[in-house]
Amino acid sequence: MTLKEWMEKEGLNDRQAAEVIGIKNTNPSTNINRYKSFKRIPQKKVMEMIYKATNKKVQPNDFYDLKV
């Protein structure tokens, strides 16, 4: 499941998703937007936070927009 799919399922906007995940840098909404649109891959620490916050539904491989 992608981050975008998880956010839609949970009814969260970028700001709310950042809060649930625990991202507290200067632009958490911008970072969430970049992650969900495959413009940036989260660093290991953030990826672990997303994995835990989504109850393992969004996994590291989900950040690679691979067309298989």
Look at residue 68 and tell me if it is in a domain.
Answer: no
Which candidate, 15, 21, 30, places its Cα nearest to that of 50? Answer: 21
Res 10: pLDDT: 98
Query: For residue 67, is pLDDT > 90?
Result: no
Number of domains in the chain: 1
Instruction: Give me the pLDDT at residue 25, please.
Output: 82
Q: Which residue has the higher pLDDT, 49 or 66?
A: 49
**What pTM was computed for the model?**
0.89
24: helix, coil or strand?
coil
Under the banding of pLDDT at 50, 70 and 90, the label for residue 18 is very high
What domain range is 25 assigned to? 3-63
Closest to 50 measured CA to CA, from 68, 66, 10: 10
pLDDT of residue 22: 95
